[in-house]
Amino acid sequence: MNKRKELYRGKAKSVYLTDDKDLLILHFRNDTSAFDGKKIEQLDKKGMVNNKFNAFIMEKLEAAGIPTHFKSILNDQESVVLALEMFPVECVVRNIAAGSICKRLGIEEGIDLDPPTFEFFLKDDARGDPMINEYHINSFGWAGPEHVVIMKELSFAVNNVLKALFREGNMLLVDYKLEFGLHNGEVVLGDEFTPDGCRLWDVDTREKLDKDRFRQDLGDVVESYQLVGKRLGLNIN
């Protein structure tokens, strides 16, 4: 597998072309970003921890029948993934109220959302990733109506798999963000699933174990991601 030029540099990951046009290399950097890139820090080992955590989760999702772009781990901070044509939208599922929904709707953090709720956001840091709806996605052609249906179905399918997985590790999956793309006309889960893009709380104490530790300056960010892994039976050192 030969690594070619950088195709895209995000806030925490870089994407490289390879000599196979169907495959890309995803490089998990130590950069940790919050508030649409307004707060960025380097956290030692975070790239390695997220790369390995992501591989573990993507394999669980594949095993459950959810199509993902993940192929294999290449080295500590890199994985090989299928090249997707990404939709510029973010799919957020919420099981418990936290983060932006609390501010937006004046909801108290920690309230159970039954049934879980779903939101689309436009991937546009300069505009603060505004919330959008399906009509916007259709009118502006960000994805086809048939793709919107599948993105929602897959997002909730992920919820069933991962809520149960984290519950076994005594954690609550509060919310998470997914991104999808097309490969040969099929909607496939792309990007990553790591504690950078979800909220995880301890069931008993409701201690935050995810990127809110970074957003809220709670400390022990990477140590906490490693603890999440450990509770899932994954030792990432």
Q: Which residues bind ligand ASP (CB under 6 A)?
A: 11, 33-37, 211
Contact flag: residue 121 with ligand TMP (CB under 6 A): yes
CA distances for 41 relative to 47, 140, 217, 228, 229, angstroms = 12, 34, 12, 21, 22
Give the nearer residue to ligand ASP in terms of CB position, either 34 or 122: 34
Residue numbers 73-92 binding ligand TMP by CB under 6 A: 90, 92
**CA atoms of 10 and 33, how far apart (whole Å):** 10
Tell me the closest approach of the beta carbon of residue 29 to ligand TMP, in angstroms.
15
Contact flag: residue 173 with ligand TMP (CB under 6 A): no
Radius of gyration (C-alpha) of the chain in whole angstroms: 17
Tell me the closest approach of the beta carbon of residue 31 to ligand ASP, in angstroms.
9
- Using left for φ > 0, alpha for ψ between -120 and 50, and beta otherwise, residue 16 falls in beta
Among all chains, which residue has been given the structure tokens 């939208």? 89
188 binds, among ligand TMP, ligand ASP, none (CB under 5 to 8 A by kind): none
Three-class SS state of 130 = coil
Contact flag: residue 118 with ligand TMP (CB under 6 A): no
Applying CB under 6 A, among 198, 209, 228, 236 the residue interacting with ligand TMP is: 198
Structure tokens of 81?
């993934």
Amino acid of residue 205: T
Tell me the closest approach of the beta carbon of residue 57 to ligand ASP, in angstroms.
17
37 binds, among ligand ASP, ligand TMP, none (CB under 5 to 8 A by kind): ligand ASP
Tell me the closest approach of the beta carbon of residue 58 to ligand ASP, in angstroms.
18
Other CB atoms within a 10 A radius of the CB of residue 170 amount to 12
**CA atoms of 162 and 149, how far apart (whole Å):** 20
